[in-house]
Structure 1
Amino acid sequence: MLVDSFGRTIDYIRISLTERCNFRCMYCMPNTPMDIGSESDDVPLDSVLNFIKIAIKQGVKKIRITGGEPLLRSQIVPFIAKIYELNPNIDIALTTNAFLLAPLAKDLKQAGLKRINISLDSLKPEKIVLISKRDGLNKILQGIESAVKEGFTIKLNMVPLLGINDDEIVDILEYGINLGVGVRFIEFMENTHAKDSTKGLRANEILHKIKAKYEVDLLEKDFFGPATLFKLPTKDCIFGIIAPHNDDFCKTCNRIRLSSEGKLIPCLYHENAVDIKEHMLRGNEKEILKNLKLCVEKKPEKNDWDNNEVSTRAFYKTGG
């Protein structure tokens, strides 16, 4: 079991398989060249499995596969199948922009993937282009529909941005309700890689827009993630808000991250990391375990977003 110095049990690891992405979202990597690299630059998936084996032995119960865009990895399906083979009880999840999801959804389900979080920042084609620099709404919606058909547990993730898509908060919520899937609104996390003029809405502002149409009841923290949950009694619907600016956001944090560069990251906000790439490549279990424990030991008590600080972390390398 992995326990940090603040008594939090670390049983959830987010693994970025690549920093490459087919979108250039304004809140993440708008100025990054499209030809960011090739799959040959990514850490081999068998080497990532060397780490995952150790993590599972240390009590990790949930693994979320992220990027960049993880579906750009050509062997993503057999990779997930190998995780499932290691332990069928592991909660294997994926975060994707869904642009490539539709033709892969069935195979991913059969491989053992259980949950999918899908970024959906707008239901308007022109706004998707504005936010992501990609005319991708049709393929995103096709990916969502395919995931629903295959029976995945699904959450739609929206980052409400001031003057961009904040008028669609209720629309996205109702889209999720109609599909029977969860919705998570994520506060924009200020970072140096985002477009300079980007401004997000805080949790109270998001709630204000929803309460203009619906009665909202506060529930509790999400068992499977960092969201605070709310219910619409009239719709029998639960949605969540992920608010890293709140003082209590970090109190129950049970996560660390493995970046696309092969670095263990104890906190999304802070720059400190433990490099285990060479140990993964060599399959050195002793050193992987040593550095995994070191990462957990270095996990800070909290981030600094509540102090209006800006992170220098490149989220597309760490999976957000």
Structure 2
Amino acid sequence: MLVDSFGRTIDYMRISVTERCNFRCAYCMPNTPMDIGDESQDVPLDSVLNFIKVAISEGVKKIRITGGEPLLRSKIVEFIANICKIAPEIDIALTTNAFLLAPLAQNLKDAGLKRINISLDSLRRDNIKCISKRDGLDKILLGIQAAHKVGLKIKLNMVPLRGINEYEIVEILEYAIRLDVMVRYIEFMENTYAKSGIVGLKLPEILEHIRKKYPISLFEKEIFGPATLFKIPKQSLKEKLDCILERDYVFGVIAPHNDDFCKTCNRIRLSSEGKLIPCLYHENAIDIKEAMLQGNTQEILERLKLCIQTKPEKNDWNEDSISKRAFYQTGG
């Protein structure tokens, strides 16, 4: 079992398999060249598996595959299948922009993928192009539909940005309600790679948009997740959206600027460069690439435990603090 200095059990790994991405989102990597590299520069997936085997043996129960865009890896389906062979009971998920998802959805499900988080920052073509520099709405929606059809558990993620997509908060909420999937609004995390001048909405502002149409109440804080959950009464959905659900609808807000965001943090990250990252905000990291490439189990374990020991109590996000992390390398 992996336990940090503050008594938190670390049983969740976020693993970035590439820094390459086919989008250039304003809040992530808008000025990064499109030819950021090719697959030969990514850490081999077999080497990443060397790390995963050790992590699972130490009690890790949940793995999320991220990027960049993880579906750019040519053997991503085989990689997920191999993880499931190591530990069939593992909770394995993937985060994607869904542009390449539709033709892969069934294969990913068959390989053992259980859950998928999909970035959906807008339902308007011009806004998608503005945010991501890609005319990708049609393929994103096809990807969502395909994942839904094959039975993957879906969460939609939206980053509300002032003056760009903030007036779609309710629109995306209602799209998620009709699809009967959870939407989570993510506060923009200030970082040096983001487009200059963009401003994200904080939790109270996000809730204010929704309250203009729907009554909402606090549901709970995810025990082992980053979101604070809220609910909308099913009767209100029937009256205002003509949508019949058998239960209240629950949505989430991920608010790293809040003081309690880090209290139940149970995760660390492996970057696409082969570095272990104990906290998304802080810049410290532990290089584990060579140990993975060599399959040196003891060295992997020692560096993993060192990462856990150096995990800080909380991040330092605030109005005047900007992270120097490249989220496309760490997976956000």
The normalised TM-score by structure 2 is: 0.96
User: Tell me, what secondary structure is at the counterpart of 2:258?
Assistant: coil
Match of 1:280 among 270, 288, 292: 292
Show CA shifts across 1:20-69 (max 9, x none).
Answer: 00000000000000000000000000000000000000000000000000
CA distance in structure 1 between the aligned counterparts of 2:98 and 2:310, rounded to whole angstroms: 34
CA distance in structure 1 between the aligned counterparts of 2:201 and 2:217, rounded to whole angstroms: 20
Q: What does 1:132-143 align with in structure 2 at a 5 Å threshold?
A: 132-143=132-143
CA distance in structure 1 between the aligned counterparts of 2:145 and 2:223, rounded to whole angstroms: 25
User: Tell me, what secondary structure is at the counterpart of 1:306?
Assistant: coil
CA distance in structure 2 between the aligned counterparts of 1:37 and 1:232, rounded to whole angstroms: 44
CA contact (8 A) 1:231 1:239 kept: yes
Q: What RMSD in Å do the two structures reach over aligned CA positions?
A: 0.7
CA deviation after TM superposition for structure 1 residue 223, in Å: 4.0
Show CA shifts across 1:135-157 (max 9, x none).
Answer: 00000000000000011110000
Match of 1:258 among 270, 287, 292: 270
Question: Where does structure 1 lack aligned partners over 5 or more consecutive residues?
Answer: none
User: Tell me, what secondary structure is at the counterpart of 1:129?
Assistant: helix
Match of 2:282 among 257, 270, 275: 270
Answer yes or no: is 1:56 the counterpart of 2:56: yes
Show CA shifts across 1:221-280 (max 9, x none).
Answer: 224520000000133210000000000000100010000000000000011000000000
Sequence identity (%): 74
Alignment partner, residue 216 of structure 2? 216
Q: What does 1:147-162 align with in structure 2 at a 5 Å threshold?
A: 147-162=147-162
Aligned residue identity for 2:284: N
Alignment partner, residue 229 of structure 1? 229
CA distance in structure 2 between the aligned counterparts of 1:307 and 1:231, rounded to whole angstroms: 28
Alignment partner, residue 85 of structure 1? 85
CA deviation after TM superposition for structure 1 residue 123, in Å: 0.2
User: Tell me, what secondary structure is at the counterpart of 2:63?
Assistant: strand
Q: What does 1:1-320 align with in structure 2 at a 5 Å threshold?
A: 1-233=1-233, 234-235=236-237, 236-306=248-318, 308-320=320-332
CA contact (8 A) 1:247 1:306 kept: no
CA contact (8 A) 2:224 2:266 kept: no
CA deviation after TM superposition for structure 1 residue 177, in Å: 0.3
User: Tell me, what secondary structure is at the counterpart of 1:169?
Assistant: helix
The normalised TM-score by structure 1 is: 0.99
Aligned residue identity for 2:281: Y
User: Tell me, what secondary structure is at the counterpart of 1:225?
Assistant: coil
CA contact (8 A) 2:224 2:265 kept: no
Alignment partner, residue 244 of structure 2? none
CA distance in structure 2 between the aligned counterparts of 1:248 and 1:104, rounded to whole angstroms: 37
User: Tell me, what secondary structure is at the counterpart of 1:272?
Assistant: coil
CA contact (8 A) 2:217 2:231 kept: yes
Runs of 4+ in 1 over 3 A off after TM superposition: none
CA distance in structure 2 between the aligned counterparts of 1:208 and 1:217, rounded to whole angstroms: 12
CA distance in structure 2 between the aligned counterparts of 1:44 and 1:59, rounded to whole angstroms: 24
Question: Where does structure 2 lack aligned partners over 5 or more consecutive residues?
Answer: 238-247
User: Tell me, what secondary structure is at the counterpart of 1:305?
Assistant: coil
CA distance in structure 2 between the aligned counterparts of 1:11 and 1:213, rounded to whole angstroms: 38
User: Tell me, what secondary structure is at the counterpart of 1:14?
Assistant: strand
Deviates more, 1:222-231 or 1:59-68: 222-231
